[in-house]
Amino acid sequence: MPTDQYLQGQLAKFLVRTQAITALCILLALAGLDFFFPTNYHLQAGIHGISSISALVLGTYLTHRAYALIRGVHINFHSLRYWLMGATAINFLGALSGNWIYMRYRGQDGPKDWILANVPAFHNYLMEFKEFVSLFPFPLMLAGSFILFYYGDAIRERRDLTQLVGILILLAWLFLLLGFVAGLTLAKLRFV
Amino acid sequence: MSEFQSPEEQSKLESTEQETLFSGPAIAATVSLLLGFYTLMITHHISRLSKEMDKFIHSYGYWIPGSTGVGPDGSIGSYAGKEALALLVWGLSWTIFHLLWRKQDISVRGWLPIFLGGLLLVSLAFIHPIIDPFILLLIDVFG
pLDDT of residue B9: 61
Residue B123 neighbours by CB under 8 Å, 6+ apart: A133, A175
The total number of structural domains in chain A stands at 1
Alpha-carbon distance of A98 to A135, in angstroms, equals 9
**Residue A54 included in any domain:** yes
- C-alpha to C-alpha distances, A97 to A34, A104, B108, nearest whole angstrom: 14, 12, 34
Q: Is residue A62 part of a domain?
A: yes
Q: Where are the alpha helices (DSSP H) in A72-158?
A: 77-106, 111-118, 120-121, 128-133, 137-151
**Model confidence at A24: pLDDT above 90:** no
Query: Domain limits at A111?
Result: 48-189
Q: What is the ipTM of this complex?
A: 0.91
Identify the DSSP state of B3. G
What share of chain A has pLDDT > 90, as a percent?
A: 86
| Chain A neighbors of B109, CB-CB under 8 A | 160
Summarised one tens digit per residue, pLDDT across range B40-90 is 999 999 999 999 999 999 999 999 999 999 999 999 999 999 999 999 999
Query: Apex CA B98: angle with CA B95 and CA B102, to 5°?
Result: 155
For A31, A59, A129, A181, the CA distances from A53, given in Å and listed in that order, are 8, 10, 19, 11
**pLDDT (mean) for B17-42:** 92
Q: Kindly determine whether residue A107 and residue B71, on different chains, have CB atoms separated by under 8 Å.
A: yes
Residue A5 is predicted with a pLDDT of 82
User: Residues A36-62: what's their mean pLDDT?
Assistant: 95
Gap from A85 CA to chain B (nearest CA, Å): 15
The reply to whether B79 touches chain A by the CB within 8 Å rule is yes
Is A95 domain-assigned?
yes
Kindly determine whether residue B123 and residue A147, on different chains, have CB atoms separated by under 8 Å: no
Nearest to B73 among A104, A129, A167 (CB): A104
Find the CB nearest A110 among B23, B29, B74.
Answer: B74
pLDDT confidence of residue A8: 83
Residue type, B24: G
| Confidence at residue B2, expressed as pLDDT on a 0 to 100 scale | 43
How far is the CA of B47 from the CAs of A66, A121, B56, in angstroms?
37, 19, 8
Q: Which of A124, A160, A169, A175 to mutate: most B Cβ within 10 Å?
A: A160
Write out pLDDT tens, residues A69-95.
999 888 899 999 999 999 999 999 999
What pTM was computed for the model?
A: 0.90
Cβ-based contacts of B75 with chain A (< 8 Å):
103, 106-107
Please report the residues numbered 83 through 122 in chain B whose beta carbons come closer than 8 angstroms to any beta carbon of chain A. 83, 86, 90, 108-109, 112, 116, 119
Tell me, yes or no, whether A105 lies in a domain. Answer: yes
pLDDT for residue A191 is more than 90: yes
Quote the pLDDT of residue B12.
54
Window B:18-37, CB contacts with A under 8 Å:
19, 21, 23, 25-26, 29-30, 33, 36-37
The verdict on residue A37 lying in a domain is: no
